[in-house]
């Protein structure tokens, strides 16, 4: 294996340009690995990186991801797809690592060591080749927060032995490992704490609320509201998140940074927006809530605004229709909503 560090790359560009390299030139030829790149967020990130001119290696075990999410890049020589579980070591030579691989929804994440062992391996890889490493952490590190909205300096309120703790504590451990590799081994790292995100290519049946409601409304099934529906979440459209992740990677700051849309909705309000968007006659059905469900969640994004110059652009009522047309196509093929 050829070892290439970021410094080599920058130095190489610098020889011909007197030390000052135009950003686009420096980027040309960047090799970037996106773990979890066949998933929902990852595949949108891959689209942007490929469009920017980078070479992208997607590493995914297809646990929840799908080849269909990236198949439009298959004929591109700058794109490569590796079926691999990041819990196993991996040898690659790259400049940047976007580490997204993770079983990311309640029905998938239990009993899985990806967050800890997978993150350790990708940090080991970053250390060996001198790559920049970005961790996609989560608002779940705040647990059932006692501070509202959540600021990055808040340490959270997490049950270490609950049904969600594999995810919450797994991501908290991933953040710890990331900071340890930064301080101990000098790895250049970035941490994003992502708040609830939705959009095209989201898993249809992984149980998250936006995908559930949209699929239910399209299939003429009742929208399942858990608990009293007064708990809140703040929903971010996927393109806003991808912009934030790229700014974070390219910027100077380690983070952690909250990346989310501060527009806060109760689950009942969300159900109403879905009714307005898809079917005003859609029924609502109440179900018992899950254990340890956070009551409120809303990001304070002042830090990302100030240091990354980033804020979300797409409100729920604008983003939802874009997701609905994708879901309609995936659920009904080329047919219309009523199956005709
Ligand atoms: P997703 O399930 O669509 O994508 C995760 C991808 O990781 C999938 O393609 C899956 O196959 C892959 N994967 C899982 N375990 C793996 C393993 N061991 N080895 C290799 N690949 C593996 O989920 P997403 O919503 O795109 O989430 C991407 C990242 O963003 C995750 O780290 C998640 O924790 C984080 N995040 C997402 C949200 C959100 O609302 N979507 C919120 C907070 C954090
Ligand atoms: N690792 C990897 N790819 C690499 C370098 C390391 O997957 O290119 C894995 C390695 O197998 C180990 C982990 O990353 O399990 C941590 O590596 P590190 O070198 O930091 O730790 P060590 O191997 O010294 O314990
Ligand atoms: N939820 C709901 N109906 C559903 C799925 C989820 O009311 O069909 C609720 C869930 O109880 C939680 C909120 O929606 O309060 C967000 O759940 P999700 O799993 O999407 O995200 P997370 O809890 O991880 O923020």
Ligand 3: which atom is nearest the Cα of residue 139? 25
User: Is residue 27 scored above 80 in pLDDT?
Assistant: no
pLDDT at 340: 32
Contact 260, 196 (CB under 8 A): yes
Going by alpha carbons, the residue nearest to atom 9 of ligand 2 is: 121
pLDDT at 6: 38
Is omega for the bond preceding 256 within 30 degrees of 0, making it cis? yes
- CB atoms under 10 Å from CB of 266, counted, come to 16
Residue that the structure tokens 């100030």 belong to? 306
Give the distance (Å) from ligand 3 centre to CA of residue 208. Answer: 6
CA–CA dist 30, 154 (Å, integer)? 35
pLDDT at 26: 52
- CB atoms under 10 Å from CB of 248, counted, come to 24
pLDDT at 167: 87
Provide CB contacts within 8 A for 313, sequence distance 6+: 240
- pLDDT mean across residues, the chain: 89
ipTM (interface pTM): 0.97
State the average pLDDT over residues 96-123. Answer: 84
User: Is residue 5 scored above 50 in pLDDT?
Assistant: no
CA–CA dist 40, 196 (Å, integer)? 12
Contact 221, 233 (CB under 8 A): no
CA–CA dist 38, 63 (Å, integer)? 10
Pairing status of strand 264-266 against strand 232-234: antiparallel
**Percent share of the chain, pLDDT over 90:** 78
Going by alpha carbons, the residue nearest to atom 15 of ligand 1 is: 102
Contact 244, 192 (CB under 8 A): yes
User: Taking CB atoms and a 6 Å cutoff, what residues make up the pocket around ligand 2?
Assistant: 89-91, 120-121, 124-125, 127-128
Half-sphere exposure of 272 (CA within 13 A, CB side): 7
User: Is residue 4 scored above 80 in pLDDT?
Assistant: no
Q: Give the model's confidence band at 162: pLDDT under 50 very low, under 70 low, under 90 confident, else very high.
A: confident
CA–CA dist 211, 107 (Å, integer)? 13
pLDDT at 11: 30
Pocket-testing residue among 209, 265, 273, ligand 3, by greatest number of atoms within 8 A of Cβ:
209
From 47-51, 60-64, 65-69, 109-113, the region with the lowest mean pLDDT: 109-113
Going by alpha carbons, the residue nearest to atom 20 of ligand 2 is: 124
User: Is residue 16 scored above 50 in pLDDT?
Assistant: no
Which residues are catalytic, by number?
167
pLDDT tens string 36-46 = 999 999 999 99
pLDDT tens string 77-92 = 999 999 999 999 999 9
Give the distance (Å) from ligand 1 centre to CA of residue 38. Answer: 9
Provide CB contacts within 8 A for 334, sequence distance 6+: none
Provide CB contacts within 8 A for 153, sequence distance 6+: none
Instruction: Determine whether the shortest distance from the Cβ of 41 to ligand 1 is under 6 A.
Output: yes
Ligand 1: which atom is nearest the Cα of residue 114? 18
**Percent share of the chain, pLDDT over 70:** 87
Give the distance (Å) from ligand 2 centre to CA of residue 268. Answer: 46
Provide CB contacts within 8 A for 148, sequence distance 6+: 296, 298
């Amino acid at each position: 294996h050829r070892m290439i560090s970021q410094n080599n790359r920058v130095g190489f560009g610098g020889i011909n340009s007197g030390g000052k390299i135009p950003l686009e030139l420096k980027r040309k030829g960047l090799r970037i690995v996106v773990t979890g790149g066949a998933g929902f967020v990852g595949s949108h990130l891959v689209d942007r990186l490929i469009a920017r001119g980078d070479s992208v290696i997607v590493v995914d075990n297809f646990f929840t991801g799908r080849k269909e999410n990236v198949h439009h890049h298959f004929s591109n020589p700058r794109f490569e797809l590796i079926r691999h579980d990041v819990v196993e070591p991996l040898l690659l030579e790259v400049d940047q690592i976007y580490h997204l691989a993770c079983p990311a929804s309640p029905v998938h994440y239990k009993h899985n060591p990806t967050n800890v062992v997978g993150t350790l391996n990708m940090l080991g890889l970053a250390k060996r080749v001198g790559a920049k490493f970005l961790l996609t952490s989560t608002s779940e590190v705040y647990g059932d927060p006692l501070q509202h909205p959540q600021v990055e300096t808040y340490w959270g309120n997490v049950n270490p032995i609950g049904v969600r703790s594999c995810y919450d504590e797994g991501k908290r451990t991933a953040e710890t490992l990331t900071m340890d590799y930064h301080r101990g081994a000098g790895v250049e790292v970035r941490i994003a704490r992502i708040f609830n995100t939705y959009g095209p290519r989201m898993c249809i049946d992984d149980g998250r609320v936006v995908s559930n409601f949209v699929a239910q409304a399209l299939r003429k099934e009742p929208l399942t509201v858990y608990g009293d529906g007064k708990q809140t979440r703040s929903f971010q459209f996927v393109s806003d998140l991808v912009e934030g992740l790229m700014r974070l990677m390219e910027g100077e700051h380690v983070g952690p940074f909250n990346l989310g849309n501060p527009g806060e909705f109760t689950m009942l309000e969300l159900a109403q927006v879905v009714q307005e968007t898809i079917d005003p006659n859609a029924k609502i059905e109440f179900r018992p809530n899950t254990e340890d469900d956070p009551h409120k969640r809303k990001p304070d994004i002042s830090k990302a605004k100030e240091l990354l110059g980033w804020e979300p652009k797409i409100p729920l009522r604008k983003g939802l229709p874009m997701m609905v047309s994708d879901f309609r196509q995936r659920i009904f093929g080329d047919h219309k909503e009523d199956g005709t």
